[in-house]
Structure 1
């Protein structure tokens, strides 16, 4: 019985350590904004020129993390409008901007739709006053892809926290 208990305890410790290592592997630190976030195993992340792009396995859905030039969220909203006008054809705000609190950081969230290169897309926009700068989190994909991955996207967004 003592041997069984020792083996069980050792197995539990190994399993728990493996789980903690798995969770650590799935945390990404975005130094430019001094935040970290969780992402799924099968997703890929790439950072270039202080822009981190997270994509699902087939590339049909992406979340981009970038720093805005603005010092405050109000200024960032004006900057975002200029960015959207140059990148998105026929942009349409589908939800009114809403003030949110995300793990102690204040922000604004909204949803848009439009098209990029003739292809219709849905966008989720989060502008967060991160510890370092104003952080823009932009999720983009087709409506069906977004609906299919809604729980994962929610988990990624809710995991964004200051480091």
Structure 2
């Protein structure tokens, strides 16, 4: 995956998966004011911003606070479950990115940007019926992809 290679060149190997998870978390929480013309570029921009923020944070942290000295409890989730979840997330994102462009955009705006069908129809200047058809198509294709895994 190109995003993984990009991040791997920018951060230590142990931080790659954490940063990728942060990228997808930010993507899921993002609410851009305009439509995302190039989703791939948008995702890479999120990754770049997170890499820069991580670098700034590490430079300014000269003295750890008490919370940083605490060792997190990694026994809550076994490593195999974490790995399986990361692989599933990658597969789902790959499935989403493989949707036809307009269908993908409609799906992302509804599911990740919390836009209503009416708002999406107005945004793309298409009918409400077209939005519904794109969502049905997206859900059908994603369901089919998930069932073949």
User: After TM superposition, is the score higher than 0.5?
Assistant: no
**TM-score, normalised to structure 1's length?**
0.22
Higher helix share: 2
**TM-score, normalised to structure 2's length?**
0.23
